[in-house]
């Protein structure tokens, strides 16, 4: 299933490598977790982060499993491709998910909420990691060793895997929330700012899953 999906991937999609992971392995870190988040920008719903430690062979080298070769930044994959990879990552990797609600985002701001989601994802791993690779310029509090890499979701395999888990998890949550809060179109736009979403806010007002600290939501309150 994943192989078939791979043939539909755009030719320009960047294949993530292992350079950063291998550098950390050489430094003695065996359990290297990639960390990524999704949901900073939406007007509604949680921010979700994932941490993933991909499986190594007994020799300490990368597994040659075909699904690992199919990993890409979640934004470079179709919904079907992400859904095909999601259970394989769950089954074969050590992973954790961190979720921070809209109410907490309003209390501590989106930057701190994102960092909290990342911390929760790392804490949810089966065992503590030796090192982290974090997408962007973020820092996960309490991590002994970490590397912040710009566009790590496109450059580092473990972060690409984390991006897939975070994206699929949040998309599923937003589809479920759409059934509880109908009329906003959450299943389609996943809480992001669209003309449809803003029109619904003006018509229906905000809900308990909307972020009041975001200006377009506050505008709907007046």
CATH number of the domain that 47 lies in?
3.30.420.10
Average pLDDT over residues 74-96: 96
Average pLDDT over residues 147-172: 97
Lowest mean pLDDT among 37-41, 64-68, 79-83: 64-68
Q: Is residue 201 part of a domain?
A: no
**Does the pTM of the predicted model rise above 0.85?**
yes
Contact of 215 with 107, CB cutoff 8 Å: no
Residue 4 pLDDT greater than 50, yes or no: no
C-beta neighbour count of 185 within 10 angstroms: 15
pLDDT of residue 138: 86
Q: How confident is the model at residue 52 (pLDDT cuts 50, 70, 90)?
A: very high
Query: For the chain, how long is the longest CA-to-CA vector?
Result: 62
Q: Is residue 75 part of a domain?
A: yes
Map tokens 């809900």 to a residue.
Answer: 207
Contact of 45 with 84, CB cutoff 8 Å: no
Range of the domain at 36: 2-171
Q: Is residue 202 part of a domain?
A: no
How many domains does the chain fold into? 1
Q: Is residue 207 part of a domain?
A: no
Average pLDDT over residues 149-173: 97
Q: How confident is the model at residue 58 (pLDDT cuts 50, 70, 90)?
A: low
pLDDT in tens, 168-218: 999 999 999 999 999 999 999 999 999 999 999 999 999 999 999 999 999
Q: How confident is the model at residue 3 (pLDDT cuts 50, 70, 90)?
A: very low
């Amino acid at each position: 299933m994943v192989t078939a999906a791979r043939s539909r991937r755009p030719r320009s999609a960047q294949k993530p490598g292992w350079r950063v992971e291998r550098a950390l392995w050489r430094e003695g870190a065996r359990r290297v977790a990639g960390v990524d988040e999704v949901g900073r920008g939406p007007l509604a719903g949680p921010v979700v982060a994932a941490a993933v430690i991909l499986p190594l062979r007994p020799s300490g080298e990368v597994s040659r499993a075909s699904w690992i070769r199919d990993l890409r930044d979640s934004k470079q994959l179709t919904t079907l491709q992400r859904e095909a990879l999601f259970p394989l990552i769950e089954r074969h990797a050590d992973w954790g998910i961190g979720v921070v609600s809209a109410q907490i985002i309003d209390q501590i701001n989106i930057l701190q909420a994102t960092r909290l989601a990342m911390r929760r994802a790392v804490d949810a791993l089966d065992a503590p990691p030796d090192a982290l690779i974090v997408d962007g310029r973020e820092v996960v509090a309490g991590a002994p060793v970490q590397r912040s890499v710009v566009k790590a979701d496109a450059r580092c395999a473990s972060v690409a895997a984390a991006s897939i888990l975070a994206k699929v998890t949040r998309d599923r949550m937003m589809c479920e929330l759409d059934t509880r809060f109908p009329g906003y179109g959450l299943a389609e736009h996943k809480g992001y700012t669209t003309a449809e979403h803003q029109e619904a806010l003006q018509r229906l007002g905000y809900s308990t899953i909307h972020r009041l600290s975001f200006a377009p939501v506050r505008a709907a309150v007046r």
